[in-house]
Amino acid sequence: MTVEPRTLRAGDHGADVTVLQTRLIAAGVPVALAGFYDPATEAAVRQFQRDAGLVVDGVAGPRTQRALAGRSDPRALSQADITSAADQLGVEVAALQAVIEVESPQGGFLADGRVVILFERHVFWRRLVAIGIDPAALDVPESILSQQRGGYVGGAAEYMRLAQAAAVAREPAMEACSWGRFQIMGYHAVSLGYASASAMAVAFATGEAEHLGAFIRFVQADAELHKALRGRKWAAFAKRYNGPAYADNLYDAKLARAYARHIVVSAA
């Protein structure tokens, strides 16, 4: 099993940071071998990301570290993609980067190459009801079918939950997952121009640019969501994008903090 490198960011220290600094130097970006992720290291990471066409955020996540090790991912979102999307939406690049950072900080793909998903058992319940199946009559583990949210296991293990649900009803199971870099729910697939949730999943496997295109259409289709993103009204945005339970996960606070970091860098 492939193990993703630990994400490194400002304030981190230790041997992993020293390895990062060594690789930055090897890539032609000078930085001191201090073993501490100081402002100079963050600036060096940004420079490497800029030179490599990666998303420029100063965070040495798995994708940046793979690129430093000579293993670039052609399916990755680029900074040019983000700038173009921000122009299409009429929003600040920093605002869009904040959403990207909070929604899927590890990227849109797992280490094994599959699209990142999160299976929502309470949504599966509702999608079954929508096609005339009584969920209460099914002998199915509560881990995949419940009127309450939860049961999450994360990472590749979410595909095991999806497989269990798909054995009951495939398309409702696909609709009950959030997909990709922007964690778009499968039940939005048709409104976003895909034939089905399964078709969206196939399209998403081609790369994060497809994830971003779907996100653009999703925001454009919701005037209030679009307005909230343009105005950086993070609570309003999170409520419409993440649902009424957004505050439980502090999505609005996370978005505000991420935006504050990105806007400082863009103004520098």
Q: Tell me, what CATH number does 14's domain have?
A: 1.10.101.10
- Calculate the average pLDDT of the chain: 91
Judged by DSSP in three states, 178 sits in strand
- How many Cα atoms occupy the beta-carbon half-sphere of 175 within 13 Å? 23
Domain interval for residue 184: 117-264
Domain presence at residue 107: no
Instruction: Please report which confidence band the pLDDT of residue 265 belongs to, taking 50, 70 and 90 as the band edges.
Output: low
Write down which residue in 72, 107, 130 finishes a domain.
72
What pLDDT sits at residue 1?
44
Where b means 16+ CB within 10 Å and e means fewer, 213-226 reads bbbbebbeeeeebb
The mean per-residue pLDDT over the stretch 153-162 comes to 95
What pLDDT sits at residue 57?
86
Element (DSSP H or E) covering residue 257? helix 251-267
- Do residues 253 and 167 both lie within one domain? yes
- Do residues 165 and 245 both lie within one domain? yes
Distance CA 171, CA 8 (A): 38
The model's pTM: 0.79
Non-local CB neighbours of 7 within 8 Å, separated by 6+ positions: 59, 60, 61, 62, 105, 106
Domain presence at residue 95: no
Write down which residue in 72, 97, 129 finishes a domain.
72
- Does residue 44 have a pLDDT over 70? yes
